[in-house]
Amino acid sequence: MDQRIANRIGGLAVFPDGPTFDSTNPARPADVIATLPSSTGAAVDDAVAAAREAQREWAARPVPARAEMIAAAAEAVAARKDDLARLVAREAGKILVEAAGDVQEAVDMGRFVAGQGRAAAGETVPSELPGKLAWTTRQPVGVVGMITPWNFPVAIPSWKCFPALLAGNGIVIKPSEEAPVCADRFVECVVDAGVPAGLVNVVHGAAEPGTAITLHPGIGAVSFPGSAPTGGVVAATGMAAGPKLLSLELGGKNAMMVLADADLELAVEGALFGAFGTAGQRCTSTSRLVVQRAVADELVARLAERTEKLMLGDPLDPSTDVGPVINARAGERILAMVAAAREEGGDVVLGGEAVTVAGCDGGTFVAPTIVRVERNHTIARKEVFGPVLAVLVVDEVADAVDVVNDTEYGLSAAVYTRNIAAALWAVERIDTGIVYVNAPTIGAEIPLPFGGTKHTGNGFREAGTRGIEQFSHVKTVYVDYSGRLQKAQIDTHPFEAEEQS
């Protein structure tokens, strides 16, 4: 591809003078996909102005009409699925089947959100007064700022853009500098489907445009996924600049509980996919395996045997099971965490090393790693975001739940057991936003809310019917058609004092 990709502002391609950066293939960093501008706050100012101008007309359209345009955008993505999937594999390092799933999520999200265009968007309640109606509706916030990650470079922009558009907003999106071309191609599909010029604007770069989005007084909502420390900065700076809706999704330390009566082969399959799919670079990746002592040795042995057979390689090769981590810095950080686990007394059962892959010069590949640790070890508590599975052994089911909850995050968890009573007992007590039974910690479906508790986020949920709530305000409406003044908020049920004897 090797081309220049400009910002998209007001329906125009804008490549400002100044520094640039390259988007490269993580499997072969010498393979430059595109050169893009390192934008400044001035580009964000222009994008916000364009979004606000286009948003006025867009918000005046009936919601079903907006939904029809979103449906068309979903079909535009579907028509380019193969090309987009190969781009995701090349730019984000996801193997082809996962890359195609990333794109399919965007298609499914567009279709789902379009269906919400004719669904109920508020509530009607009986008034306490006669001749009076009471209901709620939802109003757009105006312009939404979005900072999107590289690990789902098509799916996550769709999770944010489609609901924001249905709500009647304009958009300014800053994709991750690790996978900006994927986001640009997604927006291209949206624009080609007929969404008005200037409604969805893209500004490329690193920290400066991201900070400008969070601080901009013309932006009414900011959506950000990333690390908890960075999310804290986004929250503080965003609110300091004035009232905003802030939707933060800040990672996880997801655990799979395996009880002694579980189907061990099913648990092995789940752990293999949950921990090492996408090279462990999902916010919901299975990072901890919490297993009862009676089956721990057998489960770990089976899992290690299967893990050794995983093929590391070029994501574009259909035979590859695990691709590279996103860059050399990520590889160094992951391996440093494994080394620290050894120093703390952890037992590295498998992996824990860099791997050289033929034909992928310069790519950073980390061997899928299994390490047995204690719950106080750093790697058992901190997010790794790589192909590393920490195994913790417990005796009782209650101990397993305690270990699952013993982290600052609360995104996703899983329970493997044949005992439905034990499964539901655990589901009630696990403090995460998502819980699976007999399935790994990854695999959320778009009709249901996605998000977590504790430091995983600030309470907002993406996807599902709640997704639109991130990007709209509730408006309460009262209509009094009685034709007379009805005094509200006074005592309509006066207290009748008992006659004192």
pLDDT tens, 166-225? 999 999 999 999 999 999 999 999 999 999 989 999 999 998 999 999 999 999 999 988
Residue 236 pLDDT > 80: no
Residue 234 pLDDT > 80: no
Looking at the structure, do residues 408 and 292 belong to the same domain, yes or no?
Answer: yes
Q: Which of 189, 241, 188 is nearest to 213 (CA)?
A: 241
Cα–Cα distances in angstroms (integers) from residue 169 to residues 164, 476, 496, in the given order: 6, 19, 52
- The reply to whether 500 falls in a domain is no
- The reply to whether 486 falls in a domain is no
pLDDT at 496: 53
Looking at the structure, do residues 430 and 281 belong to the same domain, yes or no?
Answer: yes
Last residue of a domain, which of 405, 437, 469? 437
- The reply to whether 298 falls in a domain is yes
Task: Find tokens 């908020």 and name the residue.
Answer: 489
Alpha carbon distance 399, 427 (integer Å)? 14
- The reply to whether 377 falls in a domain is yes
Number of domains comprising the chain: 2
Cα–Cα distances in angstroms (integers) from residue 359 to residues 92, 317, 328, in the given order: 17, 11, 17
Looking at the structure, do residues 216 and 334 belong to the same domain, yes or no?
Answer: no
**Phi, psi at residue 255, to the nearest 5°?**
-125, 140
Contact 205, 38 (CB under 8 A): yes
Strand order in the sheet with 143-148: 12-14, 7-9, 200-202, 170-175, 143-148, 221-225, 245-249
Looking at the structure, do residues 282 and 319 belong to the same domain, yes or no?
Answer: yes
Looking at the structure, do residues 231 and 341 belong to the same domain, yes or no?
Answer: no
Alpha carbon distance 159, 153 (integer Å)? 11
pLDDT at 249: 83
Alpha carbon distance 155, 106 (integer Å)? 5
| pLDDT tens digits for range 356-376 | 999 999 999 999 999 999 999
- Chain mean pLDDT for the chain: 93
Looking at the structure, do residues 214 and 314 belong to the same domain, yes or no?
Answer: no
Residue 25 pLDDT > 50: yes
Q: State the average pLDDT over residues 39-56.
A: 97
pLDDT at 157: 96
| pLDDT tens digits for range 102-158 | 999 999 999 999 999 999 889 999 999 999 999 999 999 999 999 999 999 999 999
Residue 243 pLDDT > 50: yes
Residue 232 pLDDT > 80: no
pLDDT at 493: 64
pLDDT at 500: 47
- The reply to whether 297 falls in a domain is yes
Q: At 104, which CATH number?
A: 3.40.605.10
Residue 470 pLDDT > 90: no
Band of residue 306 on the pLDDT scale cut at 50, 70, 90: very high
Strand order in the sheet with 412-416: 347-350, 369-372, 388-394, 286-292, 254-258, 412-416, 434-437
Looking at the structure, do residues 64 and 196 belong to the same domain, yes or no?
Answer: yes
Looking at the structure, do residues 287 and 402 belong to the same domain, yes or no?
Answer: yes
Percentage above 90 pLDDT, the chain = 86
pLDDT at 499: 46
Looking at the structure, do residues 466 and 390 belong to the same domain, yes or no?
Answer: no
Q: Which residues are catalytic?
A: 249, 283
Supply the range of the domain harboring residue 112: 3-250+457-477
Alpha carbon distance 242, 207 (integer Å)? 20
Q: At 341, which CATH number?
A: 3.40.309.10
Looking at the structure, do residues 229 and 329 belong to the same domain, yes or no?
Answer: no
Measured torsion, CA atoms of residues 275, 280, 286, 290, in degrees rounded to the nearest 10: 70
- The reply to whether 96 falls in a domain is yes
Q: Tell me the CA end-to-end span of the chain in Å, nearest whole number.
A: 95
- The reply to whether 497 falls in a domain is no
Measured torsion, CA atoms of residues 480, 484, 488, 490, in degrees rounded to the nearest 10: -160
Looking at the structure, do residues 68 and 94 belong to the same domain, yes or no?
Answer: yes
Looking at the structure, do residues 240 and 386 belong to the same domain, yes or no?
Answer: no
